[in-house]
Structure 1
Amino acid sequence: MGNVYGRKDRVSSQMQKELSFILQRDIDDPRLGFVTINEVEVTRDLAVAKVYFTVLNTDEAGKRANQKCLNELAPQIRHELAKRMRLRHIAELRFHYDDSFDTGMRVAALLSEVAKDLPVEDLPEDES
């Protein structure tokens, strides 16, 4: 029976931590906003890593600009990552904007609108 938490998952988790550290400390590019690494998905052969990120307080154009900048800086980031991780080969980095947070905020706003429109007697009561 195989491991539930295999090598691919361990590499993804460690890569996420290291990338967060690298972007925070080592990469000094004024084009980048406050970038957060949400998830890293590594292919089974560890050749390609999809890096999902979010940027704080930016519009759609800013998200695209940050994604373009990160993909341009990918070779430099990969080089820094190679110094920190004990792997023979480091995956090619491909940065993708993670819109799950934006989707969650939109759903929460829609739910609050629906709750605002409900009559008071239809709202669930707190059972204390």
Structure 2
Amino acid sequence: MAKNRTGRVGEQIKKELSVLIQTEMKDPRIGFITVTGVEVTSDLSQAKVYLSVFGDAEQKETSLKGLEKAKGFLRSELGKRVMLRHTPELIFKIDESIAYGSHIEKLLGEISHEDK
């Protein structure tokens, strides 16, 4: 039962954070960011937010620094939008799975091209 609740809370946090980052954030350091996933602990005290950032490594680093700086604002806005007793602490992480997937896709394309 608790696992089901953490999944629902994680999806709600993902949806709200996506909207907040796209519409409310005015920091020029933050580029084009997509929230790819949220993992919430079973006691709802922490939420790991996985982000996909468009750009090179420097852009990813500056966007992550901008989000770390705005963590308090995001958490307070999230508390207003999601009705929970305690708002989880946000931990931002870069999601490399999309880049890894495209790299594998490119390698498979090269292999199939060599076979022909």
**Aligned counterpart in structure 1 of residue 23 of structure 2, from 10, 22, 25:** 25
1:73 is matched with 70
Q: Distance in 2 between matches of 1:11 and 1:101?
A: 24
Specify every segment of 5 or more residues in structure 2 that has no aligned partner in the other structure, as ranges: none
What is the aligned-residue identity percentage?
41
TM-score by length of structure 2 reads 0.94
Amino acid at match of 1:51: V
Q: CA RMSD in A?
A: 1.2
Correspondence 1:63 to 2:60: yes
State the structure with more CA Rg.
Answer: 1
Structure 1 gap ranges (5+): 121-128
Shift in Å at residue 22 of structure 1? Answer: 0.6
Q: CA deviation at 1:61?
A: 1.6
Which has the higher mean CA deviation after the structures are superposed, 92-101 or 24-33? 24-33
CA distance in 1, matches of 2:87, 2:71: 12
Structure-1 separation of matches of 2:83 and 2:96: 31
Moved segments of 4+, more than 2 Å: none
CA deviations on 1:48-70 (whole Å, 9 max, x unpaired) are: 100001112x1112112211221
> Which amino acid is 1:100 matched to?
S
Distance 1:62 1:21 in 2: 20
The amino acid that maps onto 1:19 is L
Specify the alignment match of 2:14 in structure 1. Answer: 16
- Which is worse superposed, 32-41 or 64-73? 64-73
Alignment partner, residue 54 of structure 1: 52
Higher helix residue share: 2
Shift of the alpha carbon at 1:74? 0.8
1:31-57 deviation per Cα after TM superposition (whole angstroms, max 9, x unaligned): 10011000000111100100001112x
- Aligned: 1:111 with 2:108: yes
